[in-house]
Amino acid sequence: MGTLLEVGTGFHPELTGRENVFLSGAVLGMKHFEIQRKFDEIVSFAEVEKFIDTPLKHYSSGMQMRLAFAVAAHLEPEILIVDEVLAVGDAAFQKKCIGKMGSAASHGRTVIFVSHNMGAIQQLTQRCVLIQGGRLVADGEAAPIIARYQEMTMDRSTTTYDVSKAPRFSPELSRKVEFLTLEMENCPTKLVPAEADITLRISVRGNDSIEGLRFGLTVYRVDGTPVGSTWCAPVHSIREARSERFP
């Protein structure tokens, strides 16, 4: 059994990247000959070939993370436990890491992946176990367990959100029109089922006289994929707080 709970185990800032590969690999339980055999593959995976003989203290945090994960990802235990290590790194490298774990699973190894990243879980796993407060809640195929987790974590106390501090595309326009609240009118929870009909009400306040203003809305899935956009009818006059509805 191997564990990947924290990247960077055994790293020393004064040693070079090359030396740290052997040091970290040994700490993780790899034999010296095994590290030698996988060395080129590890360095290539981390994309630090040009800096492998540079002291680690001169690496950026991202380079250190990539090298650390590359070492740990090349362990070959029968069972690999991975706990939230993909919370760091850019999207491209996270995708690469997920692919590496998926490859391990496809070669007959068992990967136990612990995460709150539903996109990664959906991509990597076939079976999910949902645990709450140390107790088993559900066990089964990934999709329904993910849906149950998302439903459990939804805040049902309100479906009205304060959006007054939300980032604005145009700073100049934000001084003229303030967004106040966003309300989901006919949806009892924040989790919107597929094929459901909902109406969103946006409340705004005008600090200046504006004519012909239109409000647009784009809806995204939890993984960041846009699923649709809509525009309200032109607002011919806005001088005080008012609401616009998007059915």
CATH number at residue 40: 3.40.50.300
**Whether residue 102 is found in the same domain as residue 7:** yes
**Whether residue 102 is found in the same domain as residue 177:** no
The verdict on residue 51 lying in a domain is yes
**Whether residue 73 is found in the same domain as residue 174:** no
Residue 223: the pLDDT is: 60
**Whether residue 95 is found in the same domain as residue 6:** yes
The verdict on residue 60 lying in a domain is yes
Number of domains in the chain: 2
**Tokens 């590496």 — which residue?**
100
**Whether residue 94 is found in the same domain as residue 185:** no
**Whether residue 104 is found in the same domain as residue 175:** no
The verdict on residue 39 lying in a domain is yes
Neighbours of 48 (CB within 10 A): 20
**Whether residue 101 is found in the same domain as residue 173:** no
DSSP, res 7: T
The verdict on residue 86 lying in a domain is yes
For the stretch 146-156, pLDDT in tens is 888 877 776 55
Strands 110-114, 79-83: pairing is parallel
pTM over cut 0.75: no
Residue 193: the pLDDT is: 66
Domain closes at, from 48, 80, 114: 114
Q: 212, 235 in Cβ contact below 8 A?
A: yes
CA distance 228 to 9: 44
Residue 7: the pLDDT is: 63
Residue 128: the pLDDT is: 93
Domain closes at, from 81, 114, 147: 114
The verdict on residue 191 lying in a domain is yes
Q: Which residues of the chain have pLDDT under 50?
A: 240-241
The verdict on residue 155 lying in a domain is no
The verdict on residue 126 lying in a domain is no
**Whether residue 31 is found in the same domain as residue 99:** yes
Domain closes at, from 114, 145, 172: 114
**Whether residue 22 is found in the same domain as residue 97:** yes
Task: Answer left, alpha or beta for residue 224, where phi above 0 means left and psi between -120 and 50 means alpha.
Answer: left
**Whether residue 97 is found in the same domain as residue 182:** no
**Whether residue 109 is found in the same domain as residue 6:** yes
**Residue of 202, 204, 229 whose CA lies nearest to 218:** 229
- Buried b / exposed e across 114-150, counting CB within 10 Å, b at 16+? ebebbbbbeebbeebebeeeeeeeeeeebeebbeebe
**Whether residue 110 is found in the same domain as residue 207:** no
The verdict on residue 73 lying in a domain is yes
Give the phi and the psi of residue 3 in degrees, each rounded to 5. Answer: -125, 140
> Which residues form the domain of 83?
2-114
Exposed/middle/buried for residue 211 (C-beta within 10 Å: 0-12, 13-18, 19+): exposed
